[in-house]
């Protein structure tokens, strides 16, 4: 950028220098029509040199106080634009990477959720089977205890009935025989009645 501006300044000043040099050479070589035209327009060598110096001074002032700051600003803006484009490209890459990671995490979460659901189903199935077996065992134990309790109650009732029947047999035999029975006779009648009752119940 700076080189192009310097080139433009040289390009603008070079024709004036060539024109001045040509004018001086023409004046020295011949005092022909060119000198007359230059004199007619009021162009003299000192005036032309002064104008060239003024132009160079203005060009240098413009370069250092206008062109150079503008060129620096343009360079800075170009650098900012380049940095912005690079940052945008980096953000685009990071966004794509983040999107890829998010997709992988969503996929992994779906797999984990499916595994947890399958495991929960298996555990619930096992738990249901275990509770069913426990309930069946408890029911069987309750039935067994009820059966045992019923059997014990039956045995108790049979024992009570035997005792009552034996007492009744002894009392009836005593009245029939119109005498008091001895302990041996009472025991004999009781055993006989108990055997008869047991045979009948069985």
Q: What is the pLDDT of residues 15-73, one digit of tens each?
A: 554 444 444 444 454 456 777 776 777 777 888 888 899 999 999 999 999 888 999 99
Tell me the mean pLDDT in the region 69-83.
93
Please give the Cα distance from 89 to 81 (Å, whole number).
Answer: 12
DSSP state of 145: H
Q: Is 43 left (phi over 0), alpha (psi -120 to 50) or beta?
A: beta
- Quote the pTM value: 0.36
Residues written for the chain: 202
pLDDT top residue among 82 and 8: 82
Domain ranges (residues) in the chain: 2-90, 150-201
DSSP state of 202: -
How does pLDDT run across 110-150, given as a tens digit for each residue? 999 999 999 888 888 888 888 888 888 888 888 888 888 88
Closest CA to 165 of 139, 123, 201: 201
**Which pLDDT value is given to residue 128?**
87
Please give the Cα distance from 31 to 57 (Å, whole number).
Answer: 32
193-202, long-range: CB within 8 Å, 24+ apart, which pairs?
193/162, 193/165, 193/166, 193/169, 194/162, 194/165, 194/166, 197/158, 197/161, 197/162, 197/165, 198/158, 198/162, 201/158
CA distances from 6 to 51, 64, 71, 130, 133 (A): 19, 11, 12, 96, 101
Taking only Cα atoms into account, the Rg of the chain, rounded to an integer number of angstroms, comes to 67
Contacts (Cβ under 8 Å, ≥6 apart) of 55 = 12, 13, 16
CA geometry: angle 162, 168, 171, nearest 5 deg: 140
pLDDT top residue among 7 and 147: 147
């Amino acid at each position: 950028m700076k080189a192009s501006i310097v080139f433009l300044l040289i390009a603008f000043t070079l024709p004036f220098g060539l024109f001045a040099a040509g004018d001086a050479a023409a004046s020295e070589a011949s005092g022909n029509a060119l000198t007359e035209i230059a004199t007619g327009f009021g162009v003299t060598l000192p005036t032309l040199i002064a104008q060239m110096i003024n132009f160079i001074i203005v060009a240098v002032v413009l370069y250092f106080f206008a062109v150079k700051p503008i060129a620096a600003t343009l360079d800075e803006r170009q650098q900012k634009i380049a940095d912005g484009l690079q940052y945008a490209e980096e953000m685009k890459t990071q966004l794509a990477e983040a999107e890829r990671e998010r997709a992988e995490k969503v996929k992994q979460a779906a797999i984990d959720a499916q595994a947890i659901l399958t495991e929960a189903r298996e555990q619930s199935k096992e738990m249901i089977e275990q509770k069913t077996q426990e309930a069946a065992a408890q029911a069987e134990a309750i039935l067994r205890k009820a059966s045992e309790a019923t059997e014990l109650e039956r045995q108790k009732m049979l024992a009570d009935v035997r005792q009552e029947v034996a007492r009744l047999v002894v009392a009836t035999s005593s009245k029939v025989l119109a005498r008091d029975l001895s302990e041996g006779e009472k025991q004999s009648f009781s055993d006989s009645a108990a055997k008869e009752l047991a045979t009948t119940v069985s």
